[in-house]
Amino acid sequence: MSTLPVFDPALTALIVIDMQRDFCSPGGYAQQAGLDIGPMQAVVPKVQRLLAAARAAGLMVVHTREGHLPDLSDCPPAKLARSVAAGAPIGSAGPLGRLLVRGEQGHDFVPSLRPLASEHVIDKPGYGAFHKTTLGPVLAAFGIRQLILCGVTAEVCVHSTLREAVDRGFVCTTVSDATAASQPELHAPAMAMIGVEGGIFGRVCCTDEVVAALQPPQALAA
């Protein structure tokens, strides 16, 4: 029987990665690239539960968004070329506006996961949430040492963020059933990588475990 993770609310942040319409909604970047957005949509209720639990426990909450400036000056040519090869060129017109461009409808969060005014939003031009963003200084300013990660996609932006977080010394927990891969068959290997070598990239838990760990002792005893 596995033990619940232990989180100090004063030292822990929930990182909700890229739960945007471009990845989770019809007509967004992911669907334009030929991906099945069903798995991304399916984790929305799990992320909602994590948000509710984190907010109730007083955790710092950070939401990230991947996207680029309208002139694409912050989009490396190699990344743009990859999006062209995928059939969804960054900056091209789509049903939700220009794909992966800041300020467009597709760049915005899924409506049911909108941040509260008190929560932090990190706009990122890359896959990892630390690259060319203020995430590192923001977490340092609040004395954060533990991260709970969820969102999309497991094999790209979640893993990129997780790996850099571990290199920066954070203790990380990835919530498996609140994390989706762009292709379902990639999810299990992405989660399995985290646990190699005794948990080299931290711990993998499910939503129920994290929610239970964030509840006060009296609530668990009731």
Q: What digits encode the pLDDT tens for the residues 97-153?
A: 999 999 999 999 999 999 999 999 999 999 999 999 999 999 999 999 999 999 999
Domains of the chain: 12-221 (3.40.50.850)
Give the three-state DSSP class for 111: helix
Residue 30 has pLDDT above 70, yes or no: yes
Amino acid 2: pLDDT:
58
E strands, the chain, where?
12-17, 60-66, 93-94, 97-98, 120-124, 146-152, 171-180, 203-205
> pLDDT-derived band of residue 1, with 50, 70 and 90 as boundaries?
very low
pTM more than 0.75: yes
Question: Helices 207-214 and 44-57 meet at what angle, rounded to 10?
Answer: 10
Residue 21 has pLDDT above 90, yes or no: yes
Instruction: Return all residues near 34 (Cβ < 8 A) that are at least 6 apart.
Output: 86, 87, 88
Amino acid 15: pLDDT:
99
Amino acid 218: pLDDT:
58
β-partners of residue 65 are 123
- Cβ atoms of 123 and 67 within 8 Å: the answer is yes
How far apart CA 80 and CA 31 sit, in angstroms, is: 17
Strands 60-66 and 120-124 come out as parallel
Q: Out of 46, 75, 108, 124, pick the active-site residue.
A: 124
The H helix count followed by the E strand count for the chain is 11, 8
Amino acid 219: pLDDT:
54
Torsion of CA 204, 210, 216, 222, to 10 degrees: -110
How far does Cα 137 stand from its chain's mean position?
18
Tens of pLDDT, residues 53-88: 999 999 999 999 999 999 999 999 999 999 999 999
Q: Is 157 a catalytic residue?
A: yes
Q: Is 172 a catalytic residue?
A: no
Amino acid 216: pLDDT:
78
How far apart CA 75 and CA 35 sit, in angstroms, is: 21
> pLDDT-derived band of residue 36, with 50, 70 and 90 as boundaries?
very high
Residue 221 has pLDDT above 60, yes or no: no
Amino acid 3: pLDDT:
82
- Cβ atoms of 81 and 89 within 8 Å: the answer is no
Q: Is the dihedral of CA 122, 126, 129, 130 positive or negative?
A: negative
Q: Is 208 a catalytic residue?
A: no
Tens of pLDDT, residues 141-188: 999 999 999 999 999 999 999 999 999 999 999 999 999 999 999 999
Amino acid 79: pLDDT:
98
Amino acid 128: pLDDT:
98
- Cβ atoms of 2 and 210 within 8 Å: the answer is no
Q: Out of 24, 157, 172, 205, pick the active-site residue.
A: 157
Residue 220 has pLDDT above 90, yes or no: no
